[in-house]
Structure 1
Amino acid sequence: MIRVLVVDDDFMVARVHRGFVERVPGFTVDGVAHTGAEALDAVRSLRPDLVLLDIYLPDISGLEVLRRVREGAAPVDVLAITAARDVATIRTALRGGVIHYLIKPFTFEVLRERLDRYGAAHRRLAGDGDVAQDDVDRLFGALRPTRISLPKGLTAPTADLVRTALIAAVGDLSASECADVARLSRVSTRRYLEYFVESGTAAVRLRYGGTGRPERRYYWTGP
């Protein structure tokens, strides 16, 4: 069994996340923490395999918890689960070695997919000895969702710009607002936004004004 520590300042959210984890075969929750100090104590005492770490904690930031965990002796993996969408936080978490970054709210299916991938990678690392490059490629691939091929005319670097703008947004964005953030044309940005909607990683809200068509406003829902 892969032993998990759930860290979230909201007691109800922590309970929900605990329930999610315990529904995934091969995973068990060893403890729950609601502050950064409790999280650090639990990592030292429980030595979990995986920490589901919130960023917004009442005493110290989850990023500081991540830094101290990395400085400690306990070998543990961290999956960030948070409402923090700003690029600086995401970048710091990635540099701190999180295996993935999930933005609240998310469904059980989204978390289960990440845990299943982590479980596959965890099992591949259970043995000793050397591995070949193909084994390494499969291992790292297990920790990352498969990328869908972009339609003709769309490029990965531009898709990443639009994706980052959506993830970092507080709330939803119109195509024009997203274009301003990403520093792209509105027409080009709209194509990427609609692609994300079609692929299930973004969704649309309609804002109705006094006259004319409702404005399409986009928000990120994917990994």
Structure 2
Amino acid sequence: MAENAEFLPFHAINEYMRPDFRLKVVRETLNNQTNLDESLSSDLNHMIKKFVNVPGFRSSDKAPALVKVVPTSKAFEKNPELVAVLLAGWAETHSDLREKVYSLLQARHWKTLSESEESLALSALTEAVKEWPVFPIKMNRAKLPGFYTHWPKDEDFEVLYKNFSDLYPDIEVSIDKVSLMVVWLSMRLPLQVDEIITKPGDAPISENP
């Protein structure tokens, strides 16, 4: 992993996820695939067929969700295209959490873009640097080059989760899911925090406390 990289490929997120949580994310997404938008579901099937090997099935996308969870989780570790589409599906199946985390980031003054500003931002990615914004909720984040490597100071996962819990005390959701949604909405990974390089294991997105 290059320390001077502005973007990391989508599958770099695996360095910040525990295996058990990755498996849970894959399982939740595949189990709820029928509830996804037709286009997104089709994209996910295409990626599974392309990158996932399910023993006993010539077309891996035709395998039952239960059967392809583990093979898909393994492929998730190596294929950025699969990661992008699967996380888009995961976020879609957690739309209420997505809305609330987006509101959390706005409340904490993360720079956000309206839908009308989206195309302009995409045409100027190389100039974004530390002004890298949070794109509109419905934007297809798979279009982006990967995860931006700069993370705002004092915005670690524990702080964000505490603020989320204070804002929504009646909602029971793990720090793992809130953290993953923050990463997906912001399209950032905490490789560099105010020019200080963090180690991938320092702030894991995991299902364990």
Q: Report the structure, 1 or 2, having the larger helix content.
A: 2
TM-score normalised by L of structure 2: 0.31
TM-score normalised by L of structure 1: 0.30
Q: Report the structure, 1 or 2, having the larger strand content.
A: 1
Q: Which has the larger radius of gyration?
A: 1
